[in-house]
Amino acid sequence: MNFLKMILDVMITPMCLICEKEVSYGICCNNCFFDLNKDFNDFDRTKSLGIAKAISVFVYSDRTKKLIESFKYNGFKKVGKFFAQLMAHKIENNKLLFKNEAIIVPIPTSKSRIRERGFDHTDFLANELSKLTNLKYKKLIFCKNYKISQTKVKDRWENSKDKFIGIDISEYKTYQIILIDDVITTGATMMSAIKVLNELGYNDIVCLSVAMKF
């Protein structure tokens, strides 16, 4: 895929993030680049998660797992930017699923995970994606240990029996919500987030991830 190669060529790391061989350019070697193309969700396969559909850039594999881990656990933010560009490409080329009036919403990460990793990986992806697509970005769901600030007191919060809480903002009810995560496996995390948002009246929800297990 020329689009993939164009992005990879401007991102330089001393070694391939998949096989760990030395590279002179890009974030992966030519062999891994060729193999990575096999993991593209080229036919835009989706998975139904309750009222929402989920779509991904890649089909989950050992190769995509290594790239995601280099971003999520090792802090290679250039890989996160690479993912965001591919996610933006997916949105721009799938107008049957994604609407022009949409809000990008990250799946929340717990404070302990953020402290452990040094950054919030889903928030990073969502912010980068917002810049690339010019779509609104808003945190609408939070982990249950999130402390409500004084600026949020006027808003109505919805508690789920699961691990998330959501915030009700009436002006956003007419927008499509694009939920962002790095990986969708069973879909349980996304389903918890969808449930909270749906209870608050957000009914048009699409899930977008870097990779997904089918």
Instruction: Give how many domains the chain has, as a whole number.
Output: 2
Residue 30 three-state SS: helix
CB 87 within 8 A of CB 58: no
Q: The domain spanning residue 135 has which CATH number?
A: 3.40.50.2020
pLDDT at position 33 is 86
Residues 15 and 109 in one domain: no
Residues 79 and 22 in one domain: no
Q: Which helix (H) or strand (E) holds 81?
A: helix 77-92
Task: Tell me whether residue 6 is exposed, middle or buried, using C-beta atoms within 10 angstroms of its C-beta: 0 to 12, 13 to 18, 19 or more.
Answer: exposed
First and final CA of the chain: distance in angstroms?
Answer: 22
Residues 79 and 154 in one domain: yes
pLDDT at position 146 is 58
Residues 29 and 76 in one domain: no
pLDDT at position 107 is 98
Torsion of CA 175, 181, 187, 188, to 10 degrees: -90
Per DSSP, 108 falls in state P
pLDDT at position 147 is 54
pLDDT at position 27 is 82
Radius of gyration in angstroms for the set of CA atoms belonging to the chain, rounded to a whole number: 17
CB 37 within 8 A of CB 63: no
- pLDDT per residue, tens digit, the chain (214 aa), is 455 555 444 455 578 999 999 886 678 888 998 899 999 998 899 999 999 999 999 999 999 999 999 999 999 898 999 999 999 999 999 999 999 999 999 999 999 999 999 999 999 999 999 999 999 999 999 998 755 443 443 454 455 456 899 999 999 999 999 999 999 999 999 999 999 999 999 999 999 999 999 8
Residues 23 and 68 in one domain: no
pLDDT at position 122 is 98
pLDDT at position 154 is 44
Residues 22 and 87 in one domain: no
The answer, as to whether pTM is greater than 0.85, is yes
Distance CA 107, CA 179 (A): 6
What residues make up the domain containing 167? 42-212
pLDDT at position 13 is 59
Strands of the 157-159 sheet, one edge to the other: 141-143, 164-167, 157-159
Distance CA 50, CA 161 (A): 17
The alpha-helical segments, DSSP class H, found in 93-210 are 111-117, 121-133, 188-199
Exposure letters 90-112 (e unless 16+ CB within 10 A, then b): bbeeeeebbeeebbbbbbbbeee
